[in-house]
Chains A and B, each alone.
Chain A
Amino acid sequence: MPELSVSISSITAKKRRPQEALLYGFIYLLSGGAAALVVCLIVYVLAKGLPAVSFAFLSSAENPILETVGIFPSIVNTLYIVFFSLLVSVPLGVGGAIYLNEYAKNRRLVRLIEFAAETLSGIPSILYGVFGYVFFCVLLKLQVSLIAGVLTLAVMVLPILLRTAQEALKAVPESYREGSRGLGAAKWYLIRTILLPCALKGILTGILLSVGRMVGESAALLLVAGGSAMYMPQGSVFAQLSRSGSTLSVALYRYAASRGDNDTAFGIAAVLLLIVVLLNLLTRFFAGRLEKK
């Protein structure tokens, strides 16, 4: 009998034990601190950067003779690199994930590839830069160019896309596959009507992660695509891609590191921040649209 009353009183006890209160306080402090840090960073970058942002800054190229700065080429280069890299890597990554998850019979080989992809998604990007330089710029004779940058970054984000798409496919219940097969559906039909729609969210998460890495990439791109921000985009897309040029991150690095021009660097940082937010919103918007369908 006494045991019973003890257990009841411990259930109904209103007071939090002191250790628990301490723990909660600690958790609140940490999460509050993390949030504050992010907000401070954003506010700081915008406050320091936005004064440098003007229409001329956004719409012109750098001119070393007149000593004016402009980042229009870098904005365009960034968008080109992100777009074309995804154009190459998303079909490869998603297609590869479909193959590994739904078709491949050799489990050992699949595990090996998974392991390789996991390792590759963690190695420092400069290694991709060195590889891209030797393989794309020199061996394939693409020279230092945006197209070499596109291909190098496509290789760099491929493991991320492959892994996220694969995880998304693995999360689709086996019972859907069974049900579809039981109705006589071929594998490709199952993939088109059920697996891809179900995996879409995961695939988009992978794309967002990849965009983040590409937009933030500097070292590898400096090596394979060059650092110039002097040429206004002109000619066909292909002609533009075969020239060298810097993305925003590379330009930022160059202004900050080799010239000590911090005002411009912060201006670029502010623009970069806004572009990342914009790309994020855009991806979410498309995700929402596709999900409704």
Chain B
Amino acid sequence: MNQAKLYTKDLHLHYGEIHALKGVSMEFPARFVTALIGPSGCGKSTCLKTLNRMNDTVPGVKITGKVLLDGEDVYAKNVDVPTLRKKIGMVFQSPNPFPMSVYDNVAYGPRVHGLKNRLALDEIVEESLKAAAIWEEVKDRLKKPALRLSGGQQQRLCIARALATKPEILLMDEPTSALDPISTAKIEELAVELKKEYGIVIVTHNMQQAARISDYTAFFLLGNLVEHGPTSDIFSNPKEKRTEDYISGRFG
């Protein structure tokens, strides 16, 4: 019996003809950062999206195998997808705050799930913005349009927005690829801070980033999970030749 918070078992995914995931079995423990690395198109984003069912409405998609959250099959018929996404939040590659105020962005998730009470919302908004380390920068402009923030601030706002539904796991798909080095450093710091309370899964094409912030690393190649283990092992002592080649920069 697997005790991990979230894990996949022999997960296969086809986009029509494309076999994007070929039997992925791995775990995503709570309170740790798991990094997914690998060359472009190897299935990292696909794997991430499969965890909160963000790609099961893609036309022609076929998913087999299992994803289990707290021992429950995420793909079971009786699963309430909104609740699943409340538990497994997501941050996207380029910052995508909604065209509304900073406050309304953060309150969006709680409102989706039926919270209307003004005071409770105020509290969640403040808490989430603090947790995403952006409160100080926006506390005087909560009613201002979120699209006026800088790119780095927008991404932290998106993290705050994801945290506002009080998830247990946070999925991040290359969250810093569109950001400058300083904003990137802030988000990395944040990820390390957030793992005290959340399980974090981060896709990155930046190996240094994976080495800096993750506890576990999984290396993907052409839809296969090649190697998965503690980050220090993967980087200092990979078992597979292909992992070593990738990490030492021989391809990808």
Contacts and interface: CB of A to CB of B under 8 A. Distances in A.
Interface of A: 105, 173, 175-176, 178-186, 189, 193-194, 197-198
A173 B99 CA distance: 10
> Which 7 residue pairs spanning A and B have beta carbons closest together?
A184-B82, A175-B96, A184-B85, A182-B90, A183-B109, A185-B112, A179-B96
Contacts of B89: 182-183
Contacts of B94: 175
A184 B165 contact: yes
A173 B82 contact: no
Contacts of A173: 96
B115 interface: no
A184 B86 contact: yes
B235 interface: no
Residue with the greatest number of chain B CB neighbours at <10 A, chosen from A178, A179, A185, A186 = A179
Contacts of A189: 112
- Report the contact-size class of chain B (Cβ under 8 Å from the partner): 20 to 34
8 contacts: A105-B59, A180-B98, A183-B85, A183-B108, A183-B109, A184-B84, A184-B112, A197-B99
B113 interface: yes
Contact of B85 (A175, A182, A194, A197): A182
Given A105-B59, A175-B92, A182 B98 contact: no
B185 interface: no
B204 interface: no
Contacts of A183: 85-86, 89, 108-109, 112, 161-162, 165
Contacts of A105: 59
Nearest to B57: A181
Interface string B78-112: 00011111100110101011110000000011001
A174 B83 CA distance: 22
Given A175-B96, A194-B99, A198-B99, A180 B108 contact: yes
A195 to B, nearest CB: 11
Nearest to B105: A179
Most buried by B among A105, A176, A181, A182: A182
A183 to B, nearest CB: 4
A182 B172 CA distance: 11
Given A176-B96, A193-B108, A181 B83 contact: no
Contact of B92 (A178, A184, A185, A186): A178
A80 B117 CA distance: 43
Chain A interface secondary structure, helix, strand, loop or mixed? helix
A175 B95 CA distance: 9
B69 to A, nearest CB: 14
A180 B52 CA distance: 13
Contacts of A181: 54, 85
A198 B100 CA distance: 10
Given A175-B92, A179-B92, A189-B112, A184 B99 contact: no
Contacts of A180: 98, 108, 112
Nearest to B158: A179
Interface in B110-163: 112-113, 158, 161-162
A194 B161 CA distance: 15
Contacts of B59: 105
Given A173-B96, A175-B94, A178-B54, A184 B108 contact: no
A64 to B, nearest CB: 57
Nearest to A187: B57
Nearest to B84: A184
B123 to A, nearest CB: 18
Contacts of B90: 182
Nearest to B90: A182
B92 A182 contact: yes
Nearest to A181: B54
Contacts of B109: 183-184
B98 A176 contact: yes
Nearest to A193: B108
A197 B97 CA distance: 15
A153 B83 CA distance: 46
Given A182-B52, A183-B85, A176 B165 contact: no
A173 B92 CA distance: 13
A173 to B, nearest CB: 7
A194 to B, nearest CB: 6
Contacts of B96: 173, 175-176, 178-179
B158 A185 contact: no
A154 to B, nearest CB: 31
A179 B162 CA distance: 9
A182 B98 CA distance: 13
A105 to B, nearest CB: 7
